[in-house]
Structure 1
Amino acid sequence: MPDDEKRKPIIHVIPAKRHFKRMRVALYCRVSTQMERQLHSLSAQMDFEKEDILENPAWEYVGTYTDIKSGRTISSRPGFQSLLADCEAGKIDMIYTKSISRFGRNCVDFLVTLRRLKELKIDVFFYNERTHLLSQAGELLLTLHAGVAQAESENKSENIKWGLRRSTMDPDSPAFSRRCYGYDRNEEEGLILNIAEARIVLKIFDWYEQGWSIVRIKKELEALKVPSPTGKKKWPVKTIENILTNEKYTGTSVYGETESADFPSTKRKARDPFEVHRSLNHHLPIIHERRFKRIQKLKAKRSNIEVDEHGNKLRKSTHYSSKRAVTRAKKTTKPEN
C-alpha cells in the first residue's frame, strides 16, 4: 500500500468528567411538649422529611437536629443551637424544615437568624411554604409568613390564658388539682396524700423551723438518699425553697399567682393579688396554716434580700447564720438546774 494511502489515525477527544458536588442538607424538627401526640408528630416529621432528602440525588443528608421546646426563643433550644454552630463551622449547605413555625415563632429572632445564614450563603428550605431563603423573593416572603406565625401564637396564648381564668372561677376546677410533691392525683378524689413524700415535706418544715439553712436541708436529704421530686439524687435549692413557700401544703390550692409575660418572652410575672384564685379546704393539709405563716415570717427574716418602697431588691447589710440560729435554739431550750 502506497504511503499516501496509509490510514490516518483518528483522535477521539474524551471530555473531562465534571466533579459534581452534592449539597449537604441538615434536617431540623421541633415540637413544643413531651405529650405523646406531639412526640408522634416529631417522629413523623423526621421520617417523611429525611426520606425526601435521601431521594434527591443532588442532596447529601448530613444529620437531623431536634428540639422538644417552645419556639418562642432560640437560646433555649439546644438542637437549634447545635445546628447553627455546625452552619458556622461550614458543615452544612442547606437546612430543610417543615415550616416557619417549626423554625421559630419569634419574628425578630427568626429574621436575625435568617440574615446570618444568608451571610454564610446557607439556604433554608421550608417545605409547607415551598420557599427557599436564597431565592429572589425568599426573605420578603418569609418575613410575611413569620409575622403571621407570631400573630397566631399570640392569639393562641391569650385564648389559653382566658380559658384558664374562666375555669378557675369554679373551686372544683382541675386547675386546682395539679400535683405537687407530697400529693398524688386521683381522677375521682383530686389530690390525695402520698404518705412517704408527705413525711419528707414535714421534715423539711421541721428542719427549717429548727434553724437549719436550705443548703443544710439539701445535704441532709441527699445523705439520706431521698430522691428529689423528679427522681434524681441531687436536690436543687430552688426545689426546697418552693416546698417551703407552697400554700398547697395547708390544704388551700392557689392558681394564678404568676402568669407568662407578654409574647414572645418566656419569663413569668406576678399577677394582681385580686386576680389570684383560691380553693379553700381543697384537699387534706400536710402543714397547719398557722405554722405555714410562721415559716414565711422566718424566711423573710432570714433572707439576705429585702424590697424597698419602690419594689427594688436590695441586699441586707447583715446575713443569716444557721449555725448561730441552732446554737441560740439549743440555749433557749436548755433545762435549768
Structure 2
Amino acid sequence: MKVAVYARHSTDKQEHSTRDQIARCEAHCSRLGYTVTAAFCDEGISGASMQNRPGIRGLIETALDGGFVRIITEDLSRLSRDQGDIAHFYKKLMFLGIGLETIAEGEISELHIGLKGTMNALYLKDLADKTRRGMIAAVLNGAIPGGRTFGYDIVRRMNERGELIPGLRKINQKEAEIVRTVFARYQAGESLRRISAWLNELEVPSPRGSKWQPSAFIGTVARQTGILRNTLYKGLVTFDRMAYRKHPETGKRLSVVRPENEWITVPAPELAIVDEAQFDAIQQLIEERSNRFRQKRLIVQVMTQPEKAERRNEYQRTWRARQIKASKKTREQPLYLTSGKLWCARHDTAFVFRRSRLHGCPEKGCANQNLPHDYLMPLILAELRKFGPDQVDLYYREQETRRNALLQELGQLEPQRKSVQQEIRSLLTTIARLERGPETLAHIQEREKESGRLKLDIDRLKVELDAVTRISDGLSREIIQNFQAAVSRHDADQDTTKLLHGCIDRIYIAPDWNEAEQTMQHRIRITFNVPEMVKSLRNTSIATAA
C-alpha cells in the first residue's frame, strides 16, 4: 500500500520534532508493510488553522495526483486542532478515496473526527487562556509586556533559581531626554512632520531602526498607539488592550481593540519619564488637533461642485509640480545586462552607479573609475560570444571534486542505514521469539529514529548530487546555441535581457595599461551561472526566433 507521511511542530524550540515524527511514522509503515512514497512537514506553524501551510498544500496536491492511498501521521492534532478544518479535510479525503491513519488512534473514522477534533480545539482554547492568565499575572507582578520601548532598556537579571526574570526595564537617559523634548515640542504647537525631520537630521534611529515618521508619535486613534499616547512614559503600564483572533477563511491573525474598561493598568512610577499632568495635557491636545482634521474633512462634504472642482484642479497642479521635482531614483529603471553584475577585478568589489550610464569602482585611485556603459558593452558582448563547450566543461570539472565528495558521503551513509535497518529487523525477530522487555523496544525506537535521520541525509545529498551532475552533449549544444541567440538579440526586449542577466554571475573588469600605445585598456572576465543557464535555456525557442 502506497502511503504519505505528514509531520508538524509549532515552535522553533521543537526543531527536531518533525524529523522524529517522520522517522516514527516510517517505522510504523515498515511494521505494517506500507510503502512510503512521500513525506510532508510544516515546521514552526500552529495547528490552529490549515491555511497558509505549505506542507498541507503539497499533501493535498499529491493526493489529487493519486500519489498514495493513505495518510500516516503521529496523531490527529498534527493535521489540525481546529474542528472545522479537520472535518473539512476528512471530507476531502473521503471524496478522493484516501484513508487516514495515526499511530496514536489507528485508522480514523467519523467518530475520531468528532471526538478528537473537539478535544484538540478545547486544548488549544485552554492553552490560550492559560497563556493570557500567565501574562496578566506577570504584569500585575511588575513585568513590562512586549519588546523594547523607546526610552527604556531591557534588564536581564536572574532569580534565585537561576532563571531569567522577564519584563524588567530601566530608563535609558539619552532616549528619555529625546522623549521629553518630543512632548515639549508637540505641546508648543510644532507639527509631527517637523519633529520627525528634526530627529532625522540628528540621525537618531527610530524604534524600528529606520527614519522617523509622524505615525511613530501619533499611531492610530482606534488602537491608541504611538509614543505620545504610551502611558508608560507617565509611569502607568497599560496591558491587554488588544485581542487576537484568526480569520476563519484565511487563517490570518487579526487584532481587535478591547473595550477600555477591560484594559489592565498597573502603576510603575519608577519608569515615569514625563510629568503626568503634561502627559494628560498632550492627550487633550491630540484630541483637539484630530478634531480640526476631522472638521477639514467635513468641510469637503458641504462644498459645492464648483468649489470641489477648483480644489481638485489645485491638487493636480501641485501634484504635477512634485512629480517634476521627484528624484529619478524613485522612478522604475529598465534592467540592463550589466545591472548588479559589474565587478572590479583589482579590488574584488562591486561597481557603483556614478550617473546616467556611467559606472566605476568605489575605491579611490582605481583605474576602473567612470567607465561609460557604451564603452563596456562591446567588450562584454565580445566576451559573451566566446562562451562555448569549454566553459561548460570547465564548470563541471570544477564541480567534479564536490561530486566525488558527495558520492563518497553517500557511499558511507547508505551502508550505515542498511546496517541499522538490518539491526532493527533482527531485534524485531528477537522480540517475536523471546518476548524481550521494554528496554529492547526503546532501543528499537532509537534505531528507527537514526534510520530516519540517515534517510533524510541521503535524500539531501542526492538532491545536491543532481545539481552537479554533468549534462549530456546534446543538451550542452542546445544551451550554447540558445545562449548565443540571446546574446545576438540582447537589447531586443526586456525578457531576453532578463534571461541573459540570470545566466551571468559576475562581469569582472580588469584595468590593463598598454605600454606601447600609452593608453589604459580593460579586459573582461565573465563567470556564468551554469545551473541557472541550463534551467532557463533548455527547451526554449530563442534560437528559432533569432
Same fold by TM-score greater than 0.5: yes
In the alignment, which residue of structure 1 is the partner of 2:128?
157
2:218 is equivalent to residue 248 of structure 1: no
Distance 1:82 1:165, change over 3 A: same
Determine the C-alpha separation between the residues in 1 that align with 2:106 and 2:201: 54
Q: Is the 8 A contact 2:192 2:214 kept in 1?
A: no
TM-score, normalised by the number of residues in structure 1: 0.60
1:78 to 53, 69, 74: 53
Distance 1:72 1:300, change over 3 A: farther
Determine the C-alpha separation between the residues in 1 that align with 2:204 and 2:87: 48
1:185 to 143, 154, 158: 154
In the alignment, which residue of structure 2 is the partner of 1:100?
76
Q: Secondary structure at the match of 2:93?
A: helix
Q: Secondary structure at the match of 1:72?
A: coil
Distance 1:92 1:43, change over 3 A: farther
Return 5+ residue gaps in structure 2 as ranges.
159-166, 220-224, 301-546
Determine the C-alpha separation between the residues in 2 that align with 1:227 and 1:154: 37
> How much has 1:153 moved relative to structure 2?
2.7
Supply the RMSD in Å over aligned alpha carbons. Answer: 4.7
Q: Secondary structure at the match of 1:105?
A: coil
Q: Secondary structure at the match of 1:125?
A: strand
Determine the C-alpha separation between the residues in 2 that align with 1:304 and 1:141: 57
Determine the C-alpha separation between the residues in 2 that align with 1:81 and 1:318: 53
Equivalences for residues 203-242 of structure 1 within 5 A: 210-213=190-193, 217=196, 224=203, 226=205, 229=208, 241=219, 242=225
2:44 to 57, 68, 71: 68
1:50 to 23, 34, 50: 23
Number of aligned residue pairs: 273
Q: Secondary structure at the match of 1:283?
A: helix
In the alignment, which residue of structure 2 is the partner of 1:29?
8
In the alignment, which residue of structure 1 is the partner of 2:486?
none
Q: Is the 8 A contact 2:143 2:168 kept in 1?
A: no
Distance 1:271 1:24, change over 3 A: same
Amino acid at match of 1:251: G
Q: Is the 8 A contact 2:231 2:237 kept in 1?
A: yes
> How much has 1:195 moved relative to structure 2?
5.1
In the alignment, which residue of structure 1 is the partner of 2:268?
281
Q: Secondary structure at the match of 1:279?
A: strand
Amino acid at match of 1:278: T
Q: Secondary structure at the match of 1:25?
A: strand
Give CA-to-partner distance per residue, 1:78-129, whole Å, 9 cap, x none. Answer: 3355435634763753544332223222211221222223333444333322
> How much has 1:147 moved relative to structure 2?
0.9
Q: Is the 8 A contact 2:25 2:74 kept in 1?
A: no
Structure richer in helix, relative to its length? 2
Q: Is the 8 A contact 2:241 2:260 kept in 1?
A: yes
Q: Is the 8 A contact 1:45 1:98 kept in 2?
A: no
Q: Is the 8 A contact 2:247 2:254 kept in 1?
A: no
Determine the C-alpha separation between the residues in 1 that align with 2:60 and 2:292: 39
> How much has 1:43 moved relative to structure 2?
1.2
> How much has 1:29 moved relative to structure 2?
0.6
Distance 1:192 1:65, change over 3 A: same
Return 5+ residue gaps in structure 1 as ranges.
1-21, 133-137, 308-314, 320-337
Amino acid at match of 1:243: G
In the alignment, which residue of structure 2 is the partner of 1:331?
none
Q: Is the 8 A contact 1:53 1:61 kept in 2?
A: no
Determine the C-alpha separation between the residues in 2 that align with 1:316 and 1:250: 32
Determine the C-alpha separation between the residues in 2 that align with 1:260 and 1:65: 26
TM-score, normalised by the number of residues in structure 2: 0.40
Q: Is the 8 A contact 1:260 1:269 kept in 2?
A: yes
Distance 1:301 1:190, change over 3 A: same
Q: Secondary structure at the match of 2:78?
A: helix
Q: Is the 8 A contact 2:83 2:118 kept in 1?
A: yes
Structure of greater Rg:
2
Percent same amino acid at aligned positions? 18
Q: Report the more deviating stretch, 108-117 or 22-31.
A: 22-31
In the alignment, which residue of structure 1 is the partner of 2:242?
258
